[in-house]
Chain A
Amino acid sequence: MRVLLRSAEGEGFVPPSTKDFELPPIFGDNVYTTKPILLVFLSVILISVFFILSARKAAIVPSKFQFAGESVYSFVRENLAKEVIGHEFMRFVPYLFTLFTFILVNNLFGIIPLIQFPTMSHVSFPYVLALSTYLVFHYVGIRKQGAFKYFKEILFMPGVPKAAYILITPLEILTFFVVRPLTLSLRLFANMFAGHLLLLVFILGGEHLLQGVIGLKLISPFAFAIGIVLTFFEFMVQCLQAYIFTLLAALYIAGALADEH
């Protein structure tokens, strides 16, 4: 698509834009065969196969393969679920584990050679994950405390002077019902989107410089070098975003479970 665009517009460098994220269906006009959608399915298969094979034996003395899977699992179980949620954590381990591995693998697609597209830079997927988390933590809160008490404590935070409710209540409503799901999804989306755009700028820019006059050709290796450095940087961001999303989900669940907010 880029190649087509460039040849149509001649020599001028077209900076990567949001259009670069709109990939056409691979098979005909079927909108279910775009790259991100196929990648999401691929991630589900990869994660399932990896962890099923890793956990299959459940040996006391783990093989290297089992240890690898176990490390990821116990990271989510201990550092995220247990530490944040407390004694009721076990119920939420499957959800948080799915969330973490799903986001992590889809993020990592952004730097895996040949794939090189972070699925989460398509906002639909973060929307789905944030919505699901939103439903989970409200459901948990209602189940635990009863709908009336749960919403009452959100709207009228206990231990606050009555006059302050004028200010706090609208803020709380905004926080719990709008800001939380929105920031959760947008943070992940924006990080992946910007990261991919940044890589495109340097790598496509380097490529463009290579086609220019001799002076520009000499500069292009620097653009590629920065592109490589940024790839490492992206790797860090991708892991971090998966962690942050899961951590916040755990925090929201913990908040809904707690008696007082």
Chain B
Amino acid sequence: MQFVNLAAEGKVNPLIPHTAELIVGAIAFTLLFLVLRKFVVPMFEKAFTARTEAIQGGIERAEKAQVEAQRALNQYTEQLSKAQSEAQTLREEARVQGAAIIEDLRAKAQEEAARITAAAHASIEAERQQAVTSLRNEVGALAVELASKIVGEALDDQARQSRIVDRFLEDLEKSK
């Protein structure tokens, strides 16, 4: 209406609004507002949120991996040092055990040596004793035989014979 009036007058005041335009402007603006609010803003916000989460998630994952790696490294270092100390202990133990074994063997060897020496002494003594006994008998017989030959007297009585030999031998030992 306004348009028609003003055009008819040939004068146009640009500051006077047109009713039709006011209505259309309000409707169009509201419509656009509703469309953008409903379909556009939430979608862009969704994209922004997803992007932020993706970036944050990536950082968190990297941090977690780093912590995990650090943990593994610590574990390995600890295990290594434990193994080293264990090896050290084992070496020490082996050294001590070796020394003990050597000591033990030496003692045993000495004991064995002593035993062998003692056995040798005993056997030598026994042999000597045997030799003395057999010598005594033989010497006795020889002496008797000799004496009988010399005296010419048959000394067949056994008891007498041995008494004479013993006496002879005692005299022999005394004179020695």
A residues adjacent to B (C-beta < 8 A): 17-19, 21-22, 24, 31-32, 34, 36-37, 40-41, 43-44, 47-48, 51-52, 54-56, 58-60, 62, 66, 69-70, 73-74, 77, 93-95, 97-98, 101-102, 121-125, 127-129, 132, 186, 189, 193
Contacts and interface: CB of A to CB of B under 8 A. Distances in A.
B47 A31 contact: no
Contact of A97 (B7, B12, B22, B36): B36
A198 to B, nearest CB: 15
B32 A48 contact: yes
A124 B40 contact: no
Given A31-B18, A123-B17, A48 B35 contact: yes
Most buried by A among B10, B14, B15: B14
A48 to B, nearest CB: 5
B20 A34 contact: yes
Given A22-B6, A93-B41, A94-B37, A58 B21 contact: no
Most buried by B among A21, A128, A193: A128
8 contacts: A21-B14, A31-B3, A52-B35, A55-B40, A93-B41, A94-B41, A101-B36, A123-B16
B54 interface: yes
Contacts of B43: 55-56, 58
B47 A62 contact: yes
Contacts of A22: 3, 6-7, 12
B147 interface: no
B39 A52 contact: yes
Contacts of B28: 40-41, 43-44, 102
A117 to B, nearest CB: 13
A102 B41 CA distance: 15
B31 A51 contact: no
Nearest to A66: B47
B48 to A, nearest CB: 8
A132 B29 contact: yes
A129 B6 CA distance: 24
B128 interface: no
A106 to B, nearest CB: 9
B51 interface: yes
Contacts of A73: 40-41, 44
